[in-house]
Amino acid sequence: MLALLSGVLLFLSFPSFGHPAFAWIALLPLLVTTANASSPLQAFRRGLLTGVVHFAGTIYWIPRVMEEFGGLSAAVSWAVHFLLVGYLALFPALFAVATWMLCRHFGAALILAAPAVWVTSELGRIYVFTGFPWELLGYSQTSVLWVAQLASVVGVLGVSALVASVSASLAYLVLVGRRRAGGVMAGTVALIVACLLFGHLRVRSGEWVEAGIPLRVAAVQGNIAQEDKWNPALRETILDKYLALTNLAADKGARLVVWPEAATPFAFQTDALSERIRSLARERGIHLLLGTTDLTWADELRYYNAVVLVDPQGETAGVYHKQHLVPFGEYVPMSDLLSFVSPLVENVGGFSAGDGPVTLMMDDQPIGTAVCYEIIYPGLVRGFVVGGSRLLTTVTNDAWYGRTAAPYQHFQQATMRAIEQGRFLVRAANTGISGVIDPYGRVIAQTALFDDDVLTTDVKLIDDVTPYTRYGDLLAFACGLMTLALLLVVGLTQGIRPGRV
């Protein structure tokens, strides 16, 4: 029951059903029941249960996407969903086993290492098998601005560690009693207060929004139904809508207008209809950043999910090919082995991955753009800013997810990137949520779901970089090394000594 409770609390930590407060105690029940497990297998089962409940609730919207757009039956869609949930649940399960081993070998005090072990498991979710780091624990605090500012120093994984530290301290209190845990609790309170004070001072200073070159930007939300996007009969109708919305943005003084992922229902570089877009850029004297597809014929025909920057002369100023493709969305891993999802294989485009981060030059100002799913990878977005990007953009198509929690979760994770990198972020989404976010994670403007809309607002092109941009996930990798070192000590001393907790 405690493991089940942790799963529910984790699920309730994220949009659109939850609240950030739940995250601070979400791991407490699992830690208590893990420390008192009688065997590593029992700890594994309890961690697995937490993970299954957590992820089944958080990404409940996946079967709908597979059934409606992937061509799978309801039964197969749910089977694939629970395979993914089962895989993701392995990370909390391994977290529970590692925590149990440390507590059994070193004593109850090692429950305090749980934040480092949890961050190690989240590193695994980022990097193992191309990763699926959807809604890491630290994302729960994105809207709690004084807490979220910590991400500018140690990234979202550092925020995960902070949030997990409260559950670990409370678990220690439960295990050893108030008298022995008094110092630890006082230290945890002091840490939280220090982080809140840092966050308050960072937001109040406002220095990240005062410096930099001003730029008026616009995010266009075309609101094209997923079933209409690739209908050949609607190509010009769709294009007309985007051109009309772009004219509205230009009337309001926008110099950079951002269209969503795959906004053009044709490959921009090779289709004659692209001349209408180039003509608009010339007529209005604007830069257009648009999601499209791109084709190359170097050694073989390759398809890319791409972003193209068109300059005020109507010329292509740069092209970015999406680096991190969505498994089962843009390609099917091990498709030869997955015969039972053959309809999905047939419906998924065989896209190729781009080579690396490419900054697009708006005049002499570098801009970074992440396509859809890429925005949830902290290191990938950091690569744009390390490469000189002074403004972050992201284009996406969340029409697949309807009015589920997914668009809200995706927007939340994009917001954290602005804090980490100290950059304004412009997000254009086909059906929403589009928005503009400042370097403190404050949402300057955003759209509602499934509206035709265009956001026009002022941002700054910023030069300074945050500590996180300089050093990346140094703290997270230190947590990983510490966890591995402690487990190595357990292994070398053959040491699971029962009864220490």
Domain-by-domain residue ranges, the chain? Answer: 2-206+472-492, 212-461
User: Quick one: what percent of the chain has pLDDT higher than 70?
Assistant: 94
pLDDT at 95: 98
pLDDT at 186: 97
How far apart, in Å, are the Cα atoms of 73 and each of 78, 79, 82, 350?
A: 9, 10, 14, 22
Q: With cut-offs at 50, 70 and 90, classify the pLDDT of residue 67.
A: confident
How far apart, in Å, are the Cα atoms of 113 and each of 223, 482, 484, 497, 499?
A: 47, 9, 12, 18, 19
- What's the mean pLDDT in 213-233? 95
Q: Which of 58, 81, 123, 106 is nearest to 408 (CA)?
A: 58
Strands lying side by side in the sheet with 443-446? 360-362, 365-371, 391-396, 425-429, 435-437, 443-446
Range in 64-78, 103-117, 444-458, 474-488 the model is least confident about: 64-78
Per-residue pLDDT at 411 exceeds 50:
yes
Range in 222-231, 402-411, 442-451 the model is least confident about: 222-231
- The residue from 135, 195, 322, 330 that is catalytic is 322
Q: State both tokens at 95.
A: 């977290």
Q: Which of 369, 473, 471, 363 is nearest to 423 (CA)?
A: 369
pLDDT tens, position by position, 309-318? 999 999 999 9
Please say if 322 is a catalytic residue.
yes
With both helix axes pointing from N to C terminus, report the angle between 74-106 and 28-35 in degrees, rounded to the nearest 10.
60
Q: State both tokens at 124.
A: 């695994």
Q: Which of 216, 300, 213, 292 is nearest to 255 (CA)?
A: 216
pLDDT tens, position by position, 196-215? 999 999 999 999 999 899 99
Q: With cut-offs at 50, 70 and 90, classify the pLDDT of residue 350.
A: confident
Q: With cut-offs at 50, 70 and 90, classify the pLDDT of residue 353.
A: confident
Q: With cut-offs at 50, 70 and 90, classify the pLDDT of residue 347.
A: low
Please say if 261 is a catalytic residue.
yes
- The residue from 135, 261, 374, 420 that is catalytic is 261
Per-residue pLDDT at 482 exceeds 80:
yes
Range in 111-120, 330-339, 453-462 the model is least confident about: 330-339
pLDDT tens, position by position, 149-175? 999 999 999 999 999 999 999 999 999
448 C-beta neighbours (distance < 10 Å), count: 11
- What's the mean pLDDT in 29-41? 97
pLDDT at 268: 96
Q: Which of 221, 232, 189, 55 is nearest to 134 (CA)?
A: 55
d(CA 468, CA 420): 6
Per-residue pLDDT at 348 exceeds 70:
no
Per-residue pLDDT at 445 exceeds 70:
yes
Per-residue pLDDT at 336 exceeds 60:
no
- The residue from 103, 122, 229, 372 that is catalytic is 372
Q: With cut-offs at 50, 70 and 90, classify the pLDDT of residue 341.
A: low
d(CA 487, CA 489): 5
Mean pLDDT, rounded, of the chain:
93
pLDDT at 324: 87
The DSSP call for residue 184 is H
SS3 285: coil
Q: Report DSSP letters for 223-235, one per residue.
A: ---TTTTT-GGGH
pLDDT tens, position by position, 258-313? 999 999 999 999 999 999 999 999 999 999 999 999 998 877 888 999 999 999 99
How are beta strands 391-396 and 425-429 bridged, if at all? Answer: parallel
Q: State both tokens at 33.
A: 């029941």
Q: 105, 495 in Cβ contact below 8 A?
A: yes
Strands lying side by side in the sheet with 256-258? 316-321, 302-310, 287-296, 256-258, 213-221, 453-461
Paired strand residues for 86: none
- What's the mean pLDDT in 330-358? 67
Length of the chain in residues, anyone? 501
Q: What share of the chain is helix, strand, coil (3-state, %, to 5)?
A: 55, 15, 30
- What's the mean pLDDT in 254-260? 98
pLDDT at 299: 78
Phi and psi angles of residue 21, each rounded to the nearest 5 degrees, phi first:
-60, -35
pLDDT at 337: 58
pLDDT at 499: 47
d(CA 355, CA 342): 28
Per-residue pLDDT at 43 exceeds 70:
yes
Please say if 460 is a catalytic residue.
no
Of all helices (H) and strands (E), which one includes residue 63? Answer: helix 62-69
CATH of 212-461, one of 3.60.110.10, 3.30.457.10, 1.20.1070.10, 3.65.10.10: 3.60.110.10
Q: State both tokens at 15.
A: 């949009």
Q: 314, 282 in Cβ contact below 8 A?
A: yes
Per-residue pLDDT at 494 exceeds 70:
no
Q: 370-386 in b/e burial notation, b at 16+ Cβ within 10 A? A: bbbbbbbbbebbbbbbb
The DSSP call for residue 449 is T
Phi and psi angles of residue 24, each rounded to the nearest 5 degrees, phi first:
-65, -25
pTM strictly above 0.75: yes
**23 or 326, higher pLDDT:** 23
User: Quick one: what percent of the chain has pLDDT higher than 90?
Assistant: 85
Q: State both tokens at 305.
A: 């999910």
pLDDT at 69: 81
pLDDT at 297: 83
* Burial (CB count <10 Å: 0-12, 13-18, 19+), residue 271: middle
State the virtual CA torsion across 151, 157, 161, 166 in degrees, nearest 10: 70
Say which residue the tokens 């996007």 belong to.
229
Q: 105, 500 in Cβ contact below 8 A?
A: yes
Question: At a CB cut-off of 8 Å and minimum separation 6, what does 375 contact?
Answer: 381, 394, 396, 410, 413, 414, 417
Per-residue pLDDT at 349 exceeds 90:
no
Q: State both tokens at 483.
A: 């966890």
Of all helices (H) and strands (E), which one includes residue 318? Answer: strand 316-321
